[in-house]
Amino acid sequence: MCSVGKLREINKRRYYEFTVIDFLLVLVTKNYIRQNVWYNSIMANKNNRDEKIRNQRLFQLVEFIRNGNYPNVPMMKKEYEVSRSTIMRDLEFLKSRYNAPIEYDSFHKGYYFTDKTFFVKRGMLSEAELLTVATMLPLMDQYKNTPLENAFKSVFEKLYDMLPTEIKVDSSFINDVQFISDPLPKIDVEIFNGIFTSIRNKKTVQFGYRSIENTDWVPREFDPYKVICQKGNWYVFGFCHKHQKFMVYSLSRMKDLIILDEFSFIEDFEKHIHIDPNIGIWNNDVEPIKIELLFSKEINTYILERTWHKDQECKQNDDGSVYLSFTSNQTQELKYWIMSFGSAVKVLSPEILRKDIKKELLKSIENF
């Protein structure tokens, strides 16, 4: 049986027994919640310091039991200065909330786990490391307007309950930084879940689709192979029955999804993926071409300080202008990206891209 002294010694520990990933999620949770409109509603439901103390007591209790120390009620009452009923509630909470397989051993006169594999892995992060993890917050934007957003919210609420009072992190970073993301389209929960289910089970799907240039919904039958998330936008890659080729469809532009029969899976489907993640995700089987651009010196720093493409060549000329080149097959996406720089950019090659942009600009002028 574990002595009261030993129990007190372990009680001095300053951190919970979390896995490293648990610590990451806790900090991301604390920061992410503060950046969202539902932060106030979550915080309103949080109990005071007593609840955090209880959580700490619970996790320390798990350690004692797992280590075969057989803690009992009198021992815990004396150590934590709480009543017998509080201790009994703690034990019941471990059973109901965490499915802890706790039983009382009459020989050792203490509690133990009937399943010896039940445990909480140990991992520690320094405060500096915890702050570094906070920079991961923008990654959470990829799940906005998807069913995963609510799932993360639920996880975050539970993790926040477990946040130890002893963790003290300089809040200047947390409170003084605002993360701004682009507006993202909303994805229907049935579409989102249905696509993943059909991929897992290799099932053909049927859905209505409205492309970016159309206002009407058109029927599609599609064999989904892989989901692609680019800058918070969710797409599915697979074989389109109508066009008889591999294509990419946006999940936010689908409706009325129905899962059909199993399809014949192509093992080497990856060779049919012809996207450029740096520029666009439209599956285009044309050969990539070399793009050469010249940016004016007025936006010199802006161009030089960024990596625009994994294969880029970027250099400053003597007159302050910047030369940028890379290869891509996403000419449609490139056209609008280049036009966003207005008169500060010139297309050196290819000539066909120059002509397309000129034509688009002339059409734009007609609108004003």
Q: What is the pLDDT of residue 171?
A: 47
The residues facing 152 across adjacent strands are: none
Query: Sign of the CA dihedral 227, 228, 233, 239?
Result: negative
The residue ranking higher by pLDDT, 50 or 189, is 189
Q: What is the pLDDT of residue 177?
A: 62
Q: What percent of the chain has pLDDT over 90?
A: 35
Query: How confident is the model over 299-320, as a mean pLDDT?
Result: 94
Q: What is the pLDDT of residue 184?
A: 79
Query: How confident is the model over 29-52, as a mean pLDDT?
Result: 49
Rg (the chain; Cα; Å)? 28
C-alpha distances in angstroms, 293 versus 148, 229, 290, 300, 324? Answer: 39, 28, 10, 13, 5
pLDDT digits (tens, 9 = 90+) for 135-189: 555 556 666 666 676 666 665 555 444 444 444 444 455 556 666 667 778 888 8
When pLDDT is cut at 50, 70 and 90, the band that residue 90 belongs to is: confident
pLDDT digits (tens, 9 = 90+) for 96-141: 877 788 999 999 899 988 887 775 444 444 444 444 555 555 556 6
The secondary structure of residue 3, as a DSSP letter, is -
The domains of the chain, with CATH numbers, are 4-176 (no CATH), 189-272 (2.30.30), 289-366 (3.30.70)
Amino acid at 147: P
